[in-house]
Amino acid sequence: MDLKKLLTSYQTLDQKTITLIGRIRSNRQGKVVSFAVINDGTDINDVQVVYKSDIQGHEDALKARVGSIVEATGKIILTPGKPQPFEIQATAITLLDQAIEEYPLQKKEHTPEFLREIAHLRARTKTYNAVFRVRSTLAFAIHKFFQEQNFVYVQTPIITSNDAEGAGEAFVVTTRSDDKYEQDFFGKKASLTVSGQLNAEAYAQAFKNVYTFGPTFRAENSFTTKHASEFWMIEPEVAFADLQDNIKLIEEMLKSIISYLFEKNKAELEFLEATQEEGLIKKLEGIIKADFAVMKYEEVLEVLKKAISNGHQFEEKNIVFGLDLGTEHERYICEQFNKKPTFVIDYPKDIKAFYMKENDDKKTVAAVDLLVPGIGELVGGSQREASFDKIIQRVRDMKINEEELSWYTDLRRFGYFKSSGFGLGFERLVMYVTGMANIRDVIPYPRTPKNLLF
């Protein structure tokens, strides 16, 4: 029987004999009885096995080190009033595999830095077990949400010859050790994708509702707690949809996936609230309950100016049209001003990507960022420019390779009526939901500059 099943059905198993294979978390010899705490990885909670000296395998059981694998057979005894609701009174314990004495995860506190060096082992700790189980559930919740709404999952390419919006530097993919790319594997320069959006947009014209969910890459030398060289993105795209539809979809998606998480991983969230972020659960419940606010970018500027005149201190005080809002501004808007998640729309054209739809004022675009308490921007999206002439002009103005992108801009010539979509950085979401402060701690094997282990 696996531990998860045992933990959900123990009440019906009083006095019944069961067998469980698991890893030793601790093993303490007492005068009369000894106690082994074991876990098989299927649940965040452990089970305590109590064993006396007359059981089969007693000697081996006593020797079993932390990290070792044992098979325990015994009777379930309900223990109302004790911290754990039941224990196993062993009749036999078999030591299946003994861990070495130098097992790195002894029963004590370890720093995140130390645990990153043993990324292949850290998911055995309660914290990382919770984090990576939440990550898995969130990934599934996203698929579930979109599939139930008849969205088609499009696995857009990882190796690409275009770099989306020129966002950041791209890694080169090659089989050569020089730059003669015309003689390279693909006969031209190839890179790792920075976004699947443009490819997904073409598919939205075929299926109406599509989404991508795959890895993306940035060759940026950023040594921050928020940047990784490899991370996953979710990029939905809906044909015939405008910015308002987009906003509605973002709000529904977030509420749906967080609700699903509460349903599946309440224990993990409670553990993370206790160890990582006070108020985590209330913060997440806030997302589910709130009616998100919507503000125009220019309204945001007015609020920020007023805040400054009322004595609020921002590092960037020069609040003028064209300012790329900083995290401090974003957090002020959603935490202090609206006190709830806030969509900011209609950003200045010049600080946004070429494919965003120009508004009638000719100076702003139909962009949207979702700001959430605690971190600021979580999602960014837009309605796409539908006019062939306008998007070509933007491509030229921004000196993007027109020829390389012609397949994309040509979509406007092959029957096109509105399209909107957004991007959600998956790791940013996992950090937000788990309370983990460093992106390296929400990726199983993180990749950052000068760091390529496992």
Within 385-444, the residues that bind its own copies by CB under 8 A are: 386, 407-408, 411, 413-417, 443-444
Under the binding rule (CB under 8 A), the answer on residue 12 touching its own copies is: no
- Residue 24's nearest CA partner among 44, 55, 52, 49 is 49
Candidate list 188, 248, 317, 339; residue touching its own copies; CB under 8 A: 188
Distance CA 196, CA 167 (A): 12
Q: How far is the CB of 64 from its own copies (least distance, A)?
A: 9
CA-to-CA dists, residue 282 to 134, 270, 384, angstroms: 17, 11, 35
276 binds its own copies (CB under 8 A): no
Q: Between 209 and 342, whose beta carbon lies closer to its own copies?
A: 209
Kindly state whether residue 452 participates in binding its own copies, applying the rule CB under 8 A: yes
Is 337 one of the binding residues for its own copies (CB under 8 A)? no
Count of residues binding its own copies (CB under 8 A)? 100
Is residue 116 involved in binding its own copies (CB under 8 A)? no
Of all helices (H) and strands (E), which one includes residue 440? Answer: none
Note whether 346 and 381 are within 8 A (CB): no
Cβ nearer to its own copies, comparing 327 with 451? 451
Smaller CB distance to its own copies: residue 111 or 150?
A: 150
Sign of the Cα torsion 136, 141, 144, 150 reads negative
Interaction of residue 171 with its own copies, rule CB under 8 A: yes
Half-sphere exposure in the Cβ direction for 219 (13 Å, CA): 10
Cβ nearer to its own copies, comparing 104 with 286: 104
Alpha helices in 290-425 (DSSP H): 297-309, 327-331, 388-397, 406-409
Nearer Cβ to its own copies, position 175 or 310?
Answer: 175
Question: Among 73, 74, 124, 325, which residue sits at the site for its own copies (rule: CB under 8 A)?
Answer: 124
Single out the residue of 1, 206, 288, 398 in contact with its own copies (rule: CB under 8 A): 206
DSSP 8-state class, residue 32: S
Among 35, 48, 104, 166, binds its own copies (CB under 8 A): 104
Q: Which of 9, 29, 136, 401 binds its own copies (CB under 8 A)?
A: 136
* Tokens describing residue 438: 């460093």
Residues 407, 412: Cα–Cα separation, whole Å:
10
Answer for which of 31, 289, 399, 450 binds its own copies (CB under 8 A) is: 450
- Out of 27, 127, 129, 434, the only residue in the binding site for its own copies (CB under 8 A) is 129
Distance set, CA 146 to CA 201, 209, 240 (Å): 16, 9, 17
Q: Is 10 in the site for its own copies (CB under 8 A)?
A: no
* Binding piece for its own copies, criterion CB under 8 A, among 74-82, 123-131, 267-275, 349-357: 123-131
Contact between 449 and its own copies (CB under 8 A)? Answer: yes
**Whose CA is closest to 202, among 396, 400, 384?**
384
Between 150 and 318, CB nearer to its own copies: 150
Burial tier of 166 (Cβ tally within 10 Å: 0-12, 13-18, 19+): middle
Of 72-80, 213-221, 332-340, 366-374, the segment contacting its own copies by CB under 8 A is 213-221
Q: How far is the CB of 334 from its own copies (least distance, A)?
A: 29
Q: Are 411 and 237 in contact (CB under 8 A)?
A: no
Q: Is 445 in the site for its own copies (CB under 8 A)?
A: yes
Residues from 215 through 274 that contact its own copies (CB under 8 A):
215, 217, 219, 221, 229-230, 232, 239-240
Least Cβ distance, residue 302 to its own copies (angstroms): 36
Distances (CA, A) of 90 to 85, 93, 97, 410: 16, 7, 18, 70
Listed in sequence order, the residues at least 6 apart from 411 whose beta carbon sits closer than 8 Å to its beta carbon are 201, 202, 205
Indicate the DSSP class of residue 448: B
Residue 125 vs residues 33, 41, 108, 115, 167: alpha-carbon distances, Å: 26, 10, 10, 9, 36
- Does 79 help bind its own copies (rule: CB under 8 A)? no
